[in-house]
Structure 1
Amino acid sequence: MRAVIQRVTQASVCVDGKTIGQIEHGILAYIGLGHDDSLETAKKLVDKILTYRIFANAEDKLDKNVQEVGGGLLLVSQFTLMANTRKGRRPDFAPAMSPSEAEALFAELVTYAKTQYTQVATGEFGANMQVSAINDGPINFLLEVE
């Protein structure tokens, strides 16, 4: 399981012209699910995202997590993160979980995230989403868990 996380000053997701998820200061997390991923893997990833220290403390060191700064968490499913891009000029999506399995696991991931933290918003699985964000820093990280 992979996530690209971005520290943002604001982020939102629109589907068919309607905003379905938005946050102010916090983390925009794109989530990619692979064949071997499970609810256990999803919980590890959520826990890592919520405790990853990418916000500055009083000394301007990256030492605080999203919970400590009271930020939001916007979760967006993105199967393209699982693409194998090592060879050729076309991505190979074989490593990605099947859409039906991924939809169920992503829903469980979101449910778990909401039990761990109250400020969670999401996109819509499988939809053509327009994601807007103002990246703060810019600060981006690729997180992986097994």
Structure 2
Amino acid sequence: MNDFRIRAATPADLDAVLAFWKDAAEGTSITDDRDGIERLVARDPESLILAERDGAIAGTVIAGFDGWRCHLYRLAVHPDQRRLGIGTALLTAAEERFVRLGGRRGDAMVLDGNELAHHAWRASGYGPQPQWTRWVKPLGPV
């Protein structure tokens, strides 16, 4: 039942994306604000990929490529839209984008405590890298 559409977000979508993340992506982080995603879409218009169903956002993924590495963030599917292939379609679109850009490996930021996400990522062929620990530092105002 693939009655959804995959497309790049536009500036007109950004408020809806932020509202979607509050409901479907376990809230937002300090980088999830209008200015942040506006800069993302302005800098790399194809990086924020949406799944749209019946005119509403059903899922998102950020597929960022810095010219060297491929990074996946904010894979989220609305709870009422899960198990319909939306997450898989979003990851496929992100991976196809990476290949077009010359990317060779994707890495994903996945919350340690999100077991549902762990299952979805593993089902898509991703896995934790125990030799790596991601260290982060917020930059600017928190």
TM-score of the two chains, using structure 1 as the length reference: 0.32
Q: Which has the higher helix share?
A: 2
Q: Which has the higher contact order (CA 8 A, sep 6+)?
A: 1
Q: Which has the higher strand share?
A: 1
TM-score of the two chains, using structure 2 as the length reference: 0.33
